[in-house]
Amino acid sequence: MKKIVLVAALVVAGCGQDQQVNRRAEALAQQYLLIDTHIDVPYRMTEKPADVGLATQGGDFDYPRASRGGLNAPFMSIYIPAEKESDGSARAYADQLIDLVEGLVAQHPDKFAIPHSVAEMEQQVASGHISLPLGMENGAAIAGDLQNLQHFAERGVRYITLTHSKSNHISDSSYDEQRQWRGLSEFGKQLVVEMNRVGVMVDVSHISDAAFWQVMEISEVPVIASHSSARHFTPGFERNMSDEMIRALADKGGVIMINFGSTFISAASRQSREKIRAATDEFMRERGLNEDSEEVSEFEQQLTEDTFVYAELDDVLDHFDHVRELVGVDYIGIGSDYDGVGDSLPMGLKDVSQYPNLIRGLLERNYSEADIEKILGGNLLRVWRANETYARARREGEQVQR
């Protein structure tokens, strides 16, 4: 009888400890500045219009959930599909997406604001707003004209991912077998220099390894990987960063923002996705269908529901641990890719209300509160400020020369 009572007491104590850790994680999410450098709300809103200032049925982001999760500054991804470069519409499309974010702010001025600097972002958060800095995903909108960089910087773009799924006029892509530039184009090299001068952060997510190393040589300031993870766990997946690249990024003061998508996190998840694709391709061939067929879509959806392997929260935390072991906590951040990776998000990190789960995991893995403050936003702020400081010095130097 005593043994049963003792076991019951231990269970109750364990539950109490769990609740304490949960409450502490939730408190830290609300206490510290929480920045996520990649959320694909604008593109989502063009595909399925919704007022994310209110609770929404679908998607990963809306104001109520962001508030619960403690999210202060989600970078709105100005995502430009690769085909927009080939048809010449990339610049106009980027402006359209920025108009959409500005419209959201105009609709909910008490909830959202767009910052053009660290200081503005901090003021907006202090006044109770969710600050919406902009990050351009795919530099196709620059369209070979450095004046366009200035244009988008004035509209609020604070980083540019140089390319996306296809190589463009700036850089080769990690996803594209066509590597016409063997890294960056000559214009791409000029663009990196000009981004430093203007104060727009360079984002090395999506670019080829060769392009990454060229950025490291050219950039005078720290750069970011806005939504990448550690290749150590996904061998052969160039879209993630190798240990050597993470060390080089950190040596320059940059930050890798961990992507939450299951296929970025887990080799098993990647393998399950590849099997689903292979089975879908075979299904199409056998029936003479194309990928736009509703029958193909239904087949792939059902197969995904039956066989796709989701990453777990612990798998995501392993990436944070790996970067910490490689270079320390000063070079890690959050780049979830919410609203950008479909339904492949890990259990426990399904939307923006669940950042406290990540924080709880970090606490349980012996990250200090100071470490967590850096990961949630401090590290990214350091890089953002370094870019601003360099750009300000360049402007002042140019004025003196005149």
Residue-wise burial string across 298-335, b where 16 or more C-beta atoms lie within 10 A, e elsewhere: ebbeebbeeebbbbbbebbbbbbbbbbebbebebbbbb
Domains of the chain: 31-266+309-401 (3.20.20.140)
Which pLDDT does position 17 carry in this prediction? 77
Q: Is 108:67 a contact under the CB 8 Å cutoff? A: no
Tell me the pLDDT band of 397, cut-offs 50, 70 and 90: confident
pLDDT: which is higher, 7 or 323: 323
Which pLDDT does position 15 carry in this prediction? 62
Quick check: 402 pLDDT over 80?
no
Structure tokens at 226: 């806005």
Tell me the pLDDT band of 13, cut-offs 50, 70 and 90: low
pLDDT: which is higher, 61 or 293: 61
Quick check: 307 pLDDT over 50?
yes
Location of structure tokens 């907006």: 124
Full-model pTM: 0.93
What SS3 string covers 373-400? HHHHHHHHHHHHHHHHHHHHHHHHHHHH
What SS3 string covers 7-34? HHHHHHHHHHHHHHHHHHHHHHHHHCCC
With CA atoms as reference, report the closest residue to 204 among 115, 114, 139, 133: 139
Which pLDDT does position 146 carry in this prediction? 98
Cα distances (Å, whole numbers) of residue 131 to 76, 198, 316 = 10, 21, 26
Which pLDDT does position 10 carry in this prediction? 43
- In tens, the pLDDT along 268-289 reads 999 999 999 999 999 898 888 8
Tell me the pLDDT band of 85, cut-offs 50, 70 and 90: very high
- In tens, the pLDDT along 181-196 reads 999 999 999 999 999 9
What φ, ψ does residue 63 adopt, rounded to 5°? -60, -50
Q: Is 69:29 a contact under the CB 8 Å cutoff? A: yes
Angle, alpha carbons 75-227-86 (nearest 5°): 85
Tell me the pLDDT band of 7, cut-offs 50, 70 and 90: very low
Structure tokens at 77: 């991804």
Among 2-16, 65-79, 351-365, whose mean pLDDT is lowest?
2-16
With CA atoms as reference, report the closest residue to 321 among 268, 264, 272, 364: 364
d(CA 170, CA 8): 63
* 197, 199, 204, 209: CA torsion to nearest 10: 20
Which pLDDT does position 289 carry in this prediction? 86
Quick check: 204 pLDDT over 70?
yes
- In tens, the pLDDT along 219-256 reads 999 999 999 999 999 999 999 999 999 999 999 999 99
Render 259-318 in DSSP notation, one character per residue: ---HHHH-HHHHHHHHHHHHHHHHHHHHHT--TT-HHHHHHHHHHHHHHPPPP-HHHHHH
Which pLDDT does position 11 carry in this prediction? 45
Residue type at 106 in one-letter notation: A
Which pLDDT does position 9 carry in this prediction? 46
Among 55-59, 60-64, 171-175, 293-297, whose mean pLDDT is lowest?
293-297
Quick check: 331 pLDDT over 90?
yes
Which pLDDT does position 396 carry in this prediction? 87
Quick check: 5 pLDDT over 60?
no
Q: Strands 73-79 and 224-228, how do they pair?
A: unpaired
pLDDT: which is higher, 1 or 339: 339
Q: Determine what percent of the chain is predicted with pLDDT higher than 90.
A: 88
Among 130-144, 286-300, 340-354, 362-376, whose mean pLDDT is lowest?
286-300
d(CA 193, CA 216): 11
Which pLDDT does position 12 carry in this prediction? 47
DSSP character at residue 222 = -
